[in-house]
Amino acid sequence: MDPTTDGPLAAAMALAHGPIAHLWIAMFFLGFARAAQQFMSAASPVVPRWALRGAVVVGVINLLAVPSLYFGMDATHFYAVNGWGADALVGLLTLVWVGFLGLGIHRARKNRAPMLT
């Protein structure tokens, strides 16, 4: 059963899985970029600059996917809220960015000198 098409709360679930989820993800990434930018210093940056730019790009892409609900509830339409146009593609971009961020953290940690205990 698809919670966005079956049952009495299908319309609410479509909002939760579609536009509202995109808003939450965008708020997280844009908030992350803003908070990390405030604590950025030349001596010891919290995250690399490419991570901040990537967070802004992924946040903006999620904001662009918010109006996907206005294209209808038919999953056969390309840009439907429960179709491949918005959710799957934006989710893939988000996962790829998180993967690149993890790889960057792993490489930065491997290149760092060991701490003395």
Report yes or no on 88 lying in a domain.
yes
pLDDT digits (tens, 9 = 90+) for 79-113: 555 555 666 778 888 899 889 888 877 877 776 65
Report yes or no on 4 lying in a domain.
no
Greater model confidence, 37 or 88? 37
Provide the pLDDT for residue 50. 83
Report yes or no on 2 lying in a domain.
no
Report yes or no on 83 lying in a domain.
yes
Long-range contacts made by residues 73-79, C-beta under 8 angstroms, separation at least 24?
73/4, 73/5, 73/14, 75/5
Report yes or no on 93 lying in a domain.
yes
Report yes or no on 117 lying in a domain.
no
pLDDT-based confidence at residue 44 (cuts at 50, 70, 90): low
Domain assignment of residue 37, given as a range: 10-111
Domain count, the chain: 1
Global pTM reads 0.69
d(CA 20, CA 94): 15
